[in-house]
Amino acid sequence: MPDPTHPASDLEREGALLARYLLGRRSASASEVSAARYADACRRLFTEPAPPRDIALMRFACRHPLALPCLDAAAGLLLPRTLLRQKLILMLAILETMPELAESFLPAAKPPLRVIAGLARTGAAVAFKTLGGVVLLPLAWRSR
């Protein structure tokens, strides 16, 4: 896992990964710009050494990007102050400031039935991801 003492390219790769996860799609131009901003922000904000468990969790998430949704869900419930969550919130803030991504963050008008179905689907997905993340957390911590 990159830290403030690692080269910017490591932080940029991490940032691109987090951007793709948060956007739910591949957006090369947004990923490149947001990843550069992310690397700069990480060097400025995360100056203190992170706890070993947080470092292990970030490394695991970077090595296993398919596990990121589950780790995010579990960390959001059980470990909201972990480095993974802080870095995800940082990347989300960066993405929200990009004009070309504005539509991704603005609400769209939808029929009420579609909203209810979407909430039910999202709730089930979050429950599944959280359970998966609870299983993955100990694996991530041991992987150091």
Give the pLDDT confidence of 50-64 residue by residue, as tens digits: 999 999 999 999 999
Is 43 inside a domain boundary? Answer: yes
Looking at the chain, the whole-number percentage of residues with pLDDT higher than 90 is 73
Q: Return d(Cα 129, Cα 144) in angstroms, integer.
A: 22
Ranking 6-10, 61-65, 68-72 by mean pLDDT, the lowest is 6-10
Domain count along the chain: 1
Q: What angle do CA 92, 51, 62 make, to 5 degrees?
A: 50
Is 2 inside a domain boundary? Answer: no
Is 53 inside a domain boundary? Answer: yes
Is 15 inside a domain boundary? Answer: yes
Between these two residues, 103 and 113, which has the higher pLDDT value?
Answer: 113
Q: Is the pLDDT of residue 1 over 60?
A: no
Q: Residue 115: in which H helix or E strand, if any?
A: helix 112-143
Place of tokens 């203190």: 48
Is 35 inside a domain boundary? Answer: yes
Q: Is the pLDDT of residue 6 over 60?
A: no
Compute the residue count for the chain: 144
Q: Residue 93: in which H helix or E strand, if any?
A: helix 83-96
Phi first, then psi, for residue 14 (nearest 5°) are -60, -45
pLDDT on residue 48: 93
Is 77 inside a domain boundary? Answer: yes
pLDDT on residue 2: 44
Is 1 inside a domain boundary? Answer: no
Is 72 inside a domain boundary? Answer: yes
Q: Which domain holds residue 22?
A: 8-143
Q: Is the pLDDT of residue 4 over 50?
A: no
